[in-house]
Amino acid sequence: MIFNNEVKEVIDMHLHIDGCYEDDGADVLNGFDEYIEKGPFRAVCIAALPSGKKGKANRDPSNNIMAAFCKMANPKVYAFGGLTYPDYPQDPDKLGDMELDIQYKELMEIGFDGIKMLEGKPNLYKYVGNRLDSDMFDKFFAEAEKNGTHILMHACDPIQFWTEEYATPEYIAKGWSYVSGDYPTKEELYSQIENVLKKHPKLIITFAHFYFMADELERLGDIFDRYENVGVDITPGGEMYLSFNEDRDKSRAFFSKYSERIMLGTDGCFPKCMRAMEWLADRTYRYITTDDTFKGFDDKYQTGLLLEKTAQENILSKNFLRKVGESPREINKEALKRYIEKYKHLIKDEKAISLIEEYSKKFF
């Protein structure tokens, strides 16, 4: 049973919509309703991924559009929009009216609550083909910093993905191996992001999956100490929880000290597998709010941190509300219409196109 402890206000700030928008007759508009009803969710947040899914080099701005429609259909849904790229690799000089700061303005005008970036994940990084600290991104980061826009960024991946042990055909097929194929190293990505933060020290940015530093808490604490608006989410990566569990006292001290920097997310995805989503929400929530010992990731037992009430509240909802907003922003229909007109030529999936037409009739 999910959330069987003292009921608290929770926001799952890291959900996705896959490129397929139907699931057993349930359409994407109400895709997360069943999930929201399972727990004390004040809200959920969809991180749109228009620039690449599951390591494939596909582009699909429909993901932003669907997330915007979801916001219109459900007042408990926040959404972070993503940047899209007309070419892979992207020649920055050919972006034209899709320069990233222009896209950012368009998304904020539509009423997105922040920006999601997957561009720091090694496979998408390679497709996009531009350094994160390069000029192509710089105006966008500058604007986001100036306006206090929250960015959720996936940067790096578990270190195992760079080891020979993971270079099996199975993992390579899943996009879980960076041993060969000209991928940046984990440290290379960290150093580019450090350059971005040096240049934009007030950037409000949350790194997904604990910034893949669950086994380097001192290092992460040092980044937190230097950049006041940097945070992480506890969206699994099971490997994170195995690291936390190695020294529970140390992990608990870290979570307590930096509770204002940490947010809860699960990576649940529509079309949904309710059992998996409940399991993920249950494990992350219990980890923060109880000292239960339970079967967690990789079938290993772990013991929850049972943080103090204030720290729990910070992680479960307050940080999100403070950094992103007390309620989801409203969708500006005219701005969304303009976005659809401008970007629909990049959408290849017939079903996505017809659904967008259907929802346009419904909402406009």
Please choose, out of 95-103, 267-275, 292-300, 340-348, the segment that lies near Zn ion by the rule CB under 5 A: 267-275
267 binds Zn ion (CB under 5 A): yes
Number of Cβ within a 10 Å radius of residue 89: 12
Question: 169 with 248: CB under 8 angstroms?
Answer: no
The residue (of 48 and 356) whose beta carbon lies closer to Zn ion is 48
Residue carrying the six token digits 């899943």 = 174
Q: How far is 60 from 17, CA to CA, in rounded Å?
A: 12
Find how far residue 155's CA is from the centre of its chain. Answer: 10
DSSP-derived letter for residue 316 is I
Compare residues 178 and 207 and give the one whose CB is closer to Zn ion.
Answer: 207
> Which letter, b or e, does each residue of 26-59 get, where b requires 16 or more Cβ atoms within 10 Å of its Cβ?
ebbbebbeebbebbbbbbbbbbbbbbbbebeeeb
Q: Which of 6, 68, 10 is nearest to 35 (CA)?
A: 10
CB of 160 to Zn ion, least distance (A): 18
Nearer to Zn ion, 16 or 186 (CB): 16
> Of the listed pieces 103-111, 221-229, 244-252, 263-271, which binds Zn ion according to CB under 5 A?
263-271
- Pick between residue 119 and residue 267 the one whose CB is nearest to Zn ion: 267
Token code pair at residue 56 = 């494939």
Q: How far is the CB of 150 from Zn ion (least distance, A)?
A: 15
Return the range that interacts with Zn ion (CB under 5 A); candidates 2-10, 136-144, 261-269, 319-327: 261-269
Looking at the Cβ atoms of 45 and 340, the one nearer to Zn ion is 45
Q: Which residues pair with 41 in a beta bridge?
A: 10
Cα 287 to Cα 279: distance, rounded to the nearest angstrom? 12
Residue nearest to Zn ion (CB): 267
Question: Which CB, 113 or 267, lies closer to Zn ion?
Answer: 267
> Interface with Zn ion by CB under 5 A: which range of 59-67, 138-146, 264-272, 327-335?
264-272
Q: Does 12 bind Zn ion (CB under 5 A)?
A: no
Nearest-approach distance from CB 36 to Zn ion, in angstroms: 18
CA distance 336 to 339: 5
User: Which residue carries 């139907």 as its tokens?
Assistant: 22
H/E element, 243? helix 238-246
Residue 130's CB: how many other CB atoms inside 10 A?
17
Residues 161-190 that bind Zn ion (CB under 5 A): none
User: Between 209 and 248, how does the x/- string for binding to Zn ion read (CB under 5 A)?
Assistant: ----------------------------------------
Residue from 261, 259, 255 nearest 204 by CA: 261
Tell me the C-alpha distance between 178 and 309, whole Å: 41
Our CB check for Zn ion shows the closer of 267 and 278 to be 267
Tokens of 232: 């992480």
Which string of x and - marks every residue 122-161 that binds Zn ion (by CB under 5 A)?
Answer: ----------------------------------------
To Zn ion, the closest distance from the beta carbon of 272 in angstroms equals 14
**Counting contacts by CB under 5 A, is residue 60 touching Zn ion?**
no
Looking at beta carbons only, is 17 or 307 nearer to Zn ion? 17
| Residue with Cβ nearer Zn ion (252 or 323) | 323
Q: How far is the CB of 318 from Zn ion (least distance, A)?
A: 22
Residue labelled with tokens 């005219």: 334
Q: Residue 57 corresponds to which amino acid?
A: A
Please give the residue ranges that form the binding site for Zn ion (CB under 5 A). 267
